[in-house]
Structure 1
Amino acid sequence: MTSTHSTARRHARSRDKAPDRGPNRHQGRSILLTSGLALALAAVAVPLYWLVVASTHSSQEIFDSPPPLVPGGHLMDNLNTLQESAHFGRVILNSLGIAIVYTLVAGAVCTLAGYGFAVYRFRGREALFGLLMLGLVVPAQITLVPLFKMMAELHWLNTYQAVIAPNLALPFGIFLMRQSMAALPKELLDSGRMDGCGELRLFLRVALPPMRPALATLAIFLFLYQWNDFVWPLIVLRDDTSFTIPVALASLQGLDETDFGAILAGTSIAAIPISAVFLVLQRHFVSGLLAGAVKE
C-alpha cells in the first residue's frame, strides 16, 4: 500500500515538473501568424504609400536617389497637367459611368444565366455550360479582331456601348452565380411555385435575397474588371474625350518625355473608387466566395 502511494506521488511530481507546451505552441503559432500578416500588410501598404507620395512630386524628384518618402509640393501641378493633357475630369466620369452601367447590366445577365443553369433542367444544359466555361481558358486576344469587325459593322466604334456590350455574359460571373444558385434548397423554390409565384417573381423574391453575398462578390469583380480594362477600350475608343482612365494615362507616355508625376497622380485617383467599392461590400466578399465554392 505504501509503495502504491509513493508511486502515485512520484507520478504527480513528474507531471508537475513536465513543462506545459500547449500554450507555448499556441503562442508560437500566434506570433508566426501575426508576423506573416504584418509582412503581407507591409507588402501591400508600402507600394500604395509610395504611390501617393510620388504623386506629389515632379518627375525629376521621383527618380532621385534615395527616392522621396514624404509628400512634396507638386500635386496641383500634376493635377493641372492631367486636366490639360488628358481631360482627366471627363475621363473619370467616363470610367465611372461605363463601370457602373457594366456592373449593373452584366450583373443581371450573369445572375439570370447562373439561375437558369442551376435551377432548370433542359437538354444540352451541361454541354452548353461546358462550352461557356471554355471562355475561361481561351485568351481574350483571340476575339479582338472578330469583335472589332462586329463593332465596325454595327457602327459602334468610339461609343460606350462598344466598350460595355462584348463582355456582358462574362464566363466567370456566370460560373460564380451558377455555383451559388445551386446551393438554393429546391424545397424553397417548390414552395414558392405552390404559393402561385411566377418564374420571374420566384427569381426576384425567393432566389435573390439569399444571394446577397454572392451578388456583392460579383459586383466587386465586374466593377474591377471594367475599371481596369485597357486593351479593348484602347481599340474601340478614338476620341480622347471618350477615353477611360487606363487609356488616358497610357496616352501621357511620350516617345521623348513622360510626365511620371502626372501619371502617378492619376493612378492614385483611379485607386479611390476601387477602394470605396471594396470597403462598402467587403463584409459580403468572403462569404460570397465561399458560397461560390459549393458543389452541386
Structure 2
Amino acid sequence: MIIFFIILSLIILFPLYYMFMASFKSSKELFRNGMDFRLIPSLMSLDNYKLLFTGKSSVYLYWYRNSLVITTLYTICSLFLSSLVGYGLGAYNFKGKNIIFTMVLFVMMVPLEILMLPLYKLIVGMGIINTYYGVILPFVVSPMAIFFFRQYIAGISKEYMDAGRMDGCTEFGIFFKIMAPLMQPAFGAMGILLAMHSWNSFVWPLIVLRTNTMFTIPIGLASLMTPYGNNYDILIAGAVLAIIPIIILFLLNQKAFISGLANGGVKG
C-alpha cells in the first residue's frame, strides 16, 4: 500500500516537476525538445523570471497583489459569514430550518452561468465594477461552506452550549468562545478550499475587472496569450510563482485540512 501511494504521489508531482524545469528554459528550447525532463544547466537561466517583472509583463506584481488581496478578503469574510449560517442551521431548531437548508442545497446546484447576468447588473447598479468588492461580494457567503459547517456542527455535542448558557454566555459568546475553537479543523479545511477557489477563479473576475492593473493572476496570464504569439516561457514562470501561496497555505494547515474533511464528511 505504501508503494502504491508513493507511485501515485510521483505521478501527481511529475507535472509540477516539469513545469518547474520548463520555467528556466526559453521558448525556443521548449519547442525544440518538447517534453524534456532532463536537468541541463547550460540550457537553463532566470531570464523568464526577469521578464515577468520587466517589459510588457511588468504588471505581474499588480496581478499577484490583486490575487492575494481578493483571496485573503474573500476567505476571511466567507469563513466568518458561512460558519455563522452553518452554525445556526446545525446547532438550533427553529421554524423553517429545513426549508432554509433545502434552499442552500438548491443554490449549490445552480451553475454560475445562470447567475452571471443578474449578478453583473447588480454590481453595475451598485457601482462596484472593476473593484475588489465586485469580485468578492456576490459569492462571499458560500453554500458549500455553509453545508460543510452545518455537517460539522451537527456532530458536536450540544452540552457545550448548555454549559456556556449556565455560565452566563450570550449566544454569540457561545459561538466565539466555545464552539469556534472546537471548529478549528473545519475552519482549516474550508480555509484551504475557499482560498483555492478564489485564487483560481477566472470567469467572474474576468467579467468584473476591466483594467490591466486590476487583473488577477489567472486573467493576467491568460492575457499573455495572443493571436500573434504565446509567451509560454513567461506563462510557465508565472504559473510556478502562482502556486507558491497555495502550497504554503496547505503546508500550514494540512493537519486541520485532513481532520476537518474527515470529521465534516462523516458527521451529520
User: 2:48 matched to 1:80?
Assistant: no
Residue 11 of structure 1 is matched in structure 2 by none
Residue 233 of structure 2 is matched in structure 1 by 261
For 1:78 and 1:187, locate their aligned partners in 2 and report how far apart those are by CA, in whole Å. Answer: 56
> Which amino acid in structure 2 is aligned with residue 68 of structure 1?
D
The runs of at least 4 aligned residues of structure 1 exceeding 6 Å deviation read none
2:179 maps to which of 199, 203, 207: 207
Residue 294 of structure 1, CA deviation = 3.5
> Which amino acid in structure 1 is aligned with residue 217 of structure 2?
I
Residue 200 of structure 1, CA deviation = 1.0
Residue 65 of structure 1 is matched in structure 2 by 33
The superposition leaves residues 22-79 of structure 1 with CA deviations (integer Å, 9 ceiling, x where unpaired) of: xxxxxxxxxxx13321221111111101001111111121122353322643432443
The superposition leaves residues 255-277 of structure 1 with CA deviations (integer Å, 9 ceiling, x where unpaired) of: 12001000000000001001000
Residue 80 of structure 1, CA deviation = 1.6
Residue 14 of structure 1 is matched in structure 2 by none
Q: CA RMSD in A?
A: 1.4
> Which amino acid in structure 1 is aligned with residue 11 of structure 2?
A
Deviates more, 1:220-229 or 1:129-138: 129-138
Larger Cα-atom Rg: 1
The alpha-carbon distance between structure 1 residues 232 and 82, as it changes in their structure 2 partners (threshold 3 A), is: farther
Residue 21 of structure 1 is matched in structure 2 by none
TM-score, normalisation: structure 1 = 0.86
The alpha-carbon distance between structure 1 residues 185 and 251, as it changes in their structure 2 partners (threshold 3 A), is: same
Name stretches of at least 5 consecutive residues in structure 1 with no aligned partner. Answer: 1-32
Q: 3-state DSSP class of the match of 2:221?
A: helix
Residue 128 of structure 1, CA deviation = 1.0
Residue 101 of structure 1, CA deviation = 0.8
Contact between 1:98 and 1:164, CA under 8 Å: does it hold in 2? yes
> Which amino acid in structure 2 is aligned with residue 43 of structure 1?
I
Residue 133 of structure 1 is matched in structure 2 by 105
For 1:112 and 1:272, locate their aligned partners in 2 and report how far apart those are by CA, in whole Å. Answer: 30
% identical aligned pairs? 36
Residue 81 of structure 2 is matched in structure 1 by 109
Deviates more, 1:253-262 or 1:58-67: 58-67
Contact between 1:79 and 1:262, CA under 8 Å: does it hold in 2? no
> Which amino acid in structure 2 is aligned with residue 41 of structure 1?
S
Residue 184 of structure 1, CA deviation = 1.7
Name stretches of at least 5 consecutive residues in structure 2 with no aligned partner. Answer: none
Residue 166 of structure 1 is matched in structure 2 by 138
The alpha-carbon distance between structure 1 residues 188 and 77, as it changes in their structure 2 partners (threshold 3 A), is: closer
Q: 3-state DSSP class of the match of 2:128?
A: coil
Residue 152 of structure 1, CA deviation = 0.7
Residue 264 of structure 2 is matched in structure 1 by 292
For 1:83 and 1:100, locate their aligned partners in 2 and report how far apart those are by CA, in whole Å. Answer: 26
Q: 3-state DSSP class of the match of 2:225?
A: coil
The superposition leaves residues 232-279 of structure 1 with CA deviations (integer Å, 9 ceiling, x where unpaired) of: 001100010011000000000011200100000000000100100000
Residue 81 of structure 1, CA deviation = 4.2
Contact between 1:85 and 1:252, CA under 8 Å: does it hold in 2? no
Q: 3-state DSSP class of the match of 2:69?
A: helix
Residue 19 of structure 1 is matched in structure 2 by none
The alpha-carbon distance between structure 1 residues 153 and 66, as it changes in their structure 2 partners (threshold 3 A), is: closer
Contact between 1:115 and 1:177, CA under 8 Å: does it hold in 2? yes
TM-score, normalisation: structure 2 = 0.94
Q: 3-state DSSP class of the match of 1:208?
A: helix
Residue 124 of structure 1, CA deviation = 1.1
The alpha-carbon distance between structure 1 residues 121 and 264, as it changes in their structure 2 partners (threshold 3 A), is: same
Residue 191 of structure 1 is matched in structure 2 by 163
User: 2:220 matched to 1:221?
Assistant: no
The superposition leaves residues 92-142 of structure 1 with CA deviations (integer Å, 9 ceiling, x where unpaired) of: 111111111111101001110111101121111111111111122211111
1:154 maps to which of 119, 126, 147: 126
Number of corresponding residues: 264
For 1:291 and 1:83, locate their aligned partners in 2 and report how far apart those are by CA, in whole Å. Answer: 47
User: 2:61 matched to 1:89?
Assistant: yes
Residue 36 of structure 1 is matched in structure 2 by 4
